[in-house]
Structure 1
């Protein structure tokens, strides 16, 4: 099922990049030309045209960021650490969240030690944890830490959002209640359309399943003060 999902992600990502991205680029070029013409004529509509250009550039950037998140080319080319760093860049653009990636004892060599399928599972777990923190947890800061030991690789995603009341470990119950109702988010929404109410429960199940397929364990627990800590440990 997950293999089919990955293939569909790639197809959608390529369509976004090749079709929608090129269409938005073409519209942007046309809008810039129209703006220059209106400016040369001294038309009062020039300002509105400039705003259209700005909106088109923003839409194009978001479409390309989403396409790159669906097709993690960086993961295949440069390994997990590089893919997580690129993911953090995209998240800052999409969610307006401060995301930092720290790697300890890792480098390009870890991509060789970790099977490609396991690396993909870890990347998707981090991606889901980050999306949950930004969209549901109302987090402002997310820290992603990758620690390589002699026999295992540990991924830790920690945020300062509203968090949860209970911990969840691999094989345990996946349902949990939020620690508090989040306050209204003053930031403008720039992410994808709202997900169904049960998406987070399904997302947690898939995260646990991915950890299982990678031969590892997953723990989701409340942070020390607030927020959520997601830890996935897989063998090397």
Structure 2
């Protein structure tokens, strides 16, 4: 059966060729796709609509399939009636006579533009999230090396000085230095705990999401001298691990962005539960930013938060403007057992 005899409802561009590689039959979908009659696509005329960069790929692939009498499978861009190029998956099977001679090919072109765009977006997102993860690891490594290590060295030197016979200290001086070293040790310990919680929030595991969010807000407030208002109400004690972790990370990422970029003085974090959902709202009175497609889709922080909530069936939105602060909202459904 030729391409014209196949069902008209098939959305693919169906075709047959003869042994001189020219197309002899086309489905009606060719007219809808190209905007010209099937007659104007017969022979080799349809090749005028192949993207110039893909023409050599098509000719080489078709020739190889023709010479080897094997199935053809190739991806090329084809110009649509609106002058937009669409990615097409071209598949074709050899046709043979009763004597086994090659008489042509029967094939189809399937529009895979959306699938290709999604695959490229997923690959791009994966790469950028890995880059962000490595960047965060580098930041923590720098803090450990440049800050913690230096203060540990200072602590060690201070302890050694107390034990050196040539260093003559009065009792009040010795007590003062011991107190200073104790304070330094406590500060180092607190900062190590903070870095540890950034890597793995142990309070989330042992005390639950509500306590972990409150603790996070207190730490950010004290560490960065921000007025952080935290409201947590009606949140179930027991939540799926993925829900708790991704809501916590979204709040954590939001607060980190505020600290890094907003120049805000006041921050509000609200985590509230309803019958079938949990809502997270993080807002600030900072400088904000202009929302456009580029920073909605490419800002690593926004991408990470959106993908986190989407992975558990939730929704994510951001509203901001120059000198208008930023509002992050997330909703996660709860499946009732």
- Residue 89 (structure 1) aligns with: 218
Q: Secondary structure at the match of 1:63?
A: helix
Q: Which residue of 1 aligns with 2:257?
A: 132
Shift of 1:96: 2.1
Question: Is the contact made by 1:27 and 1:56 (CA closer than 8 Å) also made in structure 2?
Answer: no
Match of 2:240 in 1: 115
2:305 partner SS: helix
Query: Using the alignment, how far apart are the partners of 2:290 and 2:149 within structure 1?
Result: 45
Larger fraction in strand? 2
Post-superposition shift, 1:119? 1.0
**8 Å contact kept, 2:232–2:271:** yes
Instruction: Look up the SS of the partner of 2:155 in the other structure.
Output: helix
Equivalent residue pairs, number? 196
The reply to whether residue 103 of structure 1 matches residue 244 of structure 2 is no
Q: Would you say 1:175 and 2:304 are equivalent positions?
A: no
Extract unaligned runs of 5+ from structure 2.
1-125
Pairing of 1:216-231 with structure 2 (within 5 A): 216-222=314-320, 226-231=324-329
Deviation at 1:125, TM superposition (A): 0.5
More relative contact order in 1 or in 2 (CA 8 Å, sep 6+)? 1
Displacement of 1:104: 2.3
CA contact (8 A) 2:264 2:287 kept: yes
Question: Which SS does the other structure have where 1:165 is aligned?
Answer: coil
RMSD: 4.2
Query: What whole-Å deviation, never above 9, does each CA across 1:17-70 have from its counterpart, x for those lacking one?
Result: 9xx989967963762573597573489999899777755543442232121222
- How many angstroms does 1:98 deviate by? 1.9
**Residue 307 of structure 2 aligns with which residue?**
209
- Provide the TM-score with structure 1 as the length reference: 0.65
Residue 175 of structure 1 aligns to a residue whose secondary structure is helix
Aligned to 1:40: 169
Q: Which has the larger radius of gyration?
A: 2
Q: TM-score, normalised by structure 2?
A: 0.48
Change in 2 beyond 3 A, CA 1:165/1:23: closer
CA distance in 1, matches of 2:180, 2:315: 49
Residues 1:235 and 2:307 aligned together: no
Aligned to 2:80: none
Q: 1:35 to 1:159 in 2, by over 3 A?
A: farther
Task: Check conservation: 2:253, 2:305, Cα contact below 8 A.
Answer: yes
Q: Tell me, yes or no, if the aligned pair for 2:148 and 2:188 is still in contact at 8 Å.
A: no
CA–CA separation in structure 2 for the residues paired with 1:115 and 1:77: 13
**1:150 alignment partner, SS class:** coil
Q: Is the 8 A contact 1:153 1:233 kept in 2?
A: yes
Structure 2 Cα separation of the partners of residues 222 and 56 of structure 1: 41
CA change 1:39–1:80 in 2 (3 A) is: farther
Could you list the runs of 5+ residues in structure 1 that have no partner in the other structure?
A: 177-199
